[in-house]
Amino acid sequence: MEGLVYNRLSKPKLRLQSVITLMVCVVVVLAFLVTDLLITYRITSETEKTQANKATQIAKIVAQTPLVIDGLTGKADEKEIQAFASQIRQSTQVEFVVVMDMNGIRKSHPNKDKIGQHFVGGDEKAVLKGKEHVSIATGTLGVSLRSFIPIYDKSHTQVGAVAVGISLEKVNQAVAQSRNIIIIGTFFGILVGIIGALFLARKIKRILFGLEPNEIAKILEERSMMLQSTREGMLAVDQRGRITLVNNEAIRLFEKAGIQDPPLGRKIDGYLPNSRLTSVLKSGEHHYDQEQDIGGVTIITNRVPIIVKGKIVGAIATFREKTEIKQLAEQLTGVKLYAEALRTQSHEFMNKLHVISGLIHMKNYEMVSSYITDLVDHQQTEVNFVVSRFKDPVLAGFLLGKLSYARENGCELTIDGEGILPEPRRQETTHELVTILGNLIDNALDAVKDCLIKTVTLRFDYYEGQLVLEIHDTGKGIKDEQVDDLFIKGFSTKGHNRGIGLYLVKQSIEALNGAIEIISTEGKGTTFIVSLPYHDKK
């Protein structure tokens, strides 16, 4: 099978630089050609309209001239019409200015021999009935754009008409002159596009270290085989602390330690709280041959930063199981680390269970729906409300699960808000929101479980990229001296071996560049207000 893969990859193909250059050039050329066609059509239409307006204005001036009216009514020598029309034609540079009587007999014409003859073209009939219009017709001077205006005397009786014509050849010349400018602009645009395509192709080539796609695919395949075949577990994170790489041996060890969730894309501090990769990212220090406990499995790990051009861009840990000293490691440090890992995973696992529960509601599986219907009142109303307000299916499913969870514990959870929360631009935002809401709602439900009024309210307001969440409970409240310590890892007002939830909330809020405010009154309840930027897919 490997031979088949390499034969497929070795087939001769266009180089990446050539493909990028060719595709960008084709797109640019097509874009400019379409633009040229559209603009040319618009210019032709506007030019014809402008020339028609010009001819109409000239014709109206001639039609309202007393000399012309008097010439047609016999009050003046009609030969003066020819002289006046010639003067207008020369000064306005139109093709002709023809004045005719009600019988269509010309009283003026560029060719004096045509005076006294009937107007040619057949499009003068409408104007002799008093209708202004513009037409394109063939006359004695060729094809022209003509504007016809009726002539009226002082008693508003039509005594003739005037036709002003502009040669279509001149119109086409005007269009051609305008189009030449467009062609020149298009040419330079295509030239710049080609140069930009070449520059872009070379830039991408440099970013890819001069490798072709098939070469990159081969390297990735080889790297994947190397990573998966090694007997050491490997886990890498990026500079934000998110897991980007994990091999099969690492997954095996995690599963052995009871960690079943897929690691890729997760925050390392949430997935593996005692990995210490976050400190490696901050300090750049190397840790060699360090003992570490993961859910009761003792490993020997090495942690090193990944440095590119003098900047820390990630960190990687390699590790192997150390079973021969497992009991000693548990006695020294394993118990504490194991407990911390279990507490963290307990919170995370509960949140995921709620998400899965909500998603099952949305998928409407018959057996699950029948079971949930026995436990949940007004299910359809809740589903419709939540799904219509929260467009992210994971977040909507999570909230539906929380509503069921609250009812099962004898508490009332109310969700209210303004607007509709769209799907986030980044999928990580959903995971962080699940962590924030999951822990805050759980804490609120826990705070009211021994109270007479067991009410928790979640309110959201989303407007112009800003999301505000308010979680209010009717519990006993928090003492003023304890508020500042709530987000410290391990601190809890509920007893020992707690204090993980709000620590994770703070980390998720910081990851989203948000802020949190606490308002609490002893005996009246507590309100957590979370504000953070929220960008949708659009």
What is the per-residue pLDDT across 188-229, written as a single tens digit (0 to 9) for each? 777 777 787 777 777 777 777 666 667 777 777 767 666 666
Helices (H), 10-145: 16-63, 66-73, 79-92
Res 150 pLDDT > 90: yes
Handedness of CA 59, 64, 67, 73 (dihedral sign): positive
360 pLDDT tier (thresholds 50, 70, 90): low
What is the per-residue pLDDT across 505-536, written as a single tens digit (0 to 9) for each? 888 888 889 998 888 888 888 899 999 999 88
Output the CA–CA distances (angstroms, integers) from residue 133 to 26, 129, 277, in the order listed: 45, 11, 83
The label of the residue with tokens 């005007």 reads: 174
List, in order of start, the domains of the chain with CATH numbers. Answer: 1-229 (3.30.450.20), 232-321 (3.30.450.20), 348-533 (3.30.565.10)
- Residue 344: the pLDDT is 38
Could you tell me if 530 and 502 are in contact, meaning their C-beta atoms sit under 8 angstroms apart?
no
- When mean pLDDT is compared over 137-141, 193-197, 247-251, 354-358, the highest value belongs to 247-251
> In the chain, what percentage of residues exceed pLDDT 70?
80
SS3 154: coil
19, with CB counted inside 10 A (0-12, 13-18, 19+), is: middle
- Residue 355: the pLDDT is 47
- Residue 470: the pLDDT is 92
> In the chain, what percentage of residues exceed pLDDT 90?
7
Q: Round the average pLDDT of the chain to a whole number and report it.
A: 77
Distance from chain centroid for Cα 473: 37
Output the CA–CA distances (angstroms, integers) from residue 320 to 195, 226, 332, in the order listed: 53, 16, 19
374 pLDDT tier (thresholds 50, 70, 90): low
User: DSSP letters along 247-284, please?
Assistant: -HHHHHHHHHTT--S--TTSBHHHH-TT--HHHHHHH-
Res 98 pLDDT > 60: yes
Kindly state the tokens that stand for 373. Answer: 């219907």
- Residue 285: the pLDDT is 87
Kindly state the tokens that stand for 270. Answer: 């949430």
- Write a three-state SS string for 481-522: HHHCCCCCCCCCCCCCCCCCHHHHHHHHHHHCCCEEEEEEEC
- When mean pLDDT is compared over 293-302, 371-380, 456-465, the highest value belongs to 456-465
Could you tell me if 272 and 233 are in contact, meaning their C-beta atoms sit under 8 angstroms apart?
no
Strands 412-418 and 455-463: parallel
The total of other beta-carbon atoms located within 10 Å of residue 289's CB is 7
Return the ∠ at Cα 258 (arms to 253 and 261), rounded to 5°. Answer: 90
